[in-house]
Amino acid sequence: MKKVTNRSLHRDIAYFYLGLIIAFSFSGIILNHRRDWYPMDYVYESKPFELSIPKGKLTKEYLKNNTSEIGKYEGHRIREGKLRIYFKGNAIFDADALTGKGSIEYKRKVPIVGHTLFLHKSTNNFWIWYSDIFGIAMLGIAFTGVMIPLGKNGFKSRGWKLTILGMIIPLLFLLFFS
């Protein structure tokens, strides 16, 4: 049987997880910029809509009964005088909570890119376990990768300095911005 080395272990784990590394990298970058662009939902159609809202009648039952033409009611919220109603199939009605004037937006995921975000945010039990194993594998890739170079570029010579620098940056961010 062939001897397993840090180099071969590092290589094989990286090959196995290459697709997931790419998907998580893309979706992580996108999640960092979700206020600017969020491909899980993009509006492909928008149309004005008005809902008559009698005083004191803004209940779940009222909204369910009076918005059935839009779609199947899933929930609603009111924040700062704005009403938002969610419907099955990615339709959203945004309106003024007093007047009922607003618009319906129909949304879709950006193909492929929007779907990678689903992987990043999934709470499916199988996926959580698989992602945890992936996290452990990433630690394995990191530790075996550190042991590969020897000599003047090795961990003992300069690698530890870069490692400390790489750890200081996230710590400073946590210290000053969290």
Please determine, for residue 111, whether its predicted confidence score (pLDDT) is greater than 70.
yes
- Cα separation, 102 vs 14, in Å, equals 50
| For range 130-147, the mean pLDDT | 85
Q: Is the pLDDT of residue 6 over 80?
A: no
What number of other Cβ atoms are within 10 A of residue 2's Cβ? 5
Closest-CA residue to 28 (of 126, 138, 105, 125): 138
Q: Which residue has the higher pLDDT, 108 or 78?
A: 78
pLDDT in tens, 8-46: 878 888 888 887 888 778 777 777 777 766 666 666 788
What is the residue extent of each domain of the chain?
A: 1-37+112-147, 42-108, 152-178
Give residue 73's pLDDT.
Answer: 92
Mean pLDDT of the chain: 82
Task: State the Cα–Cα distance between residues 37 and 173, nearest whole angstrom.
Answer: 23
Sheet strand arrangement including 73-79:
42-50, 101-108, 91-96, 82-87, 73-79
Q: What is the pLDDT of residues 40-60, one digit of tens each?
A: 666 678 888 888 887 767 788
Mean pLDDT of the region 103-121: 79
3-state secondary structure of 132: helix
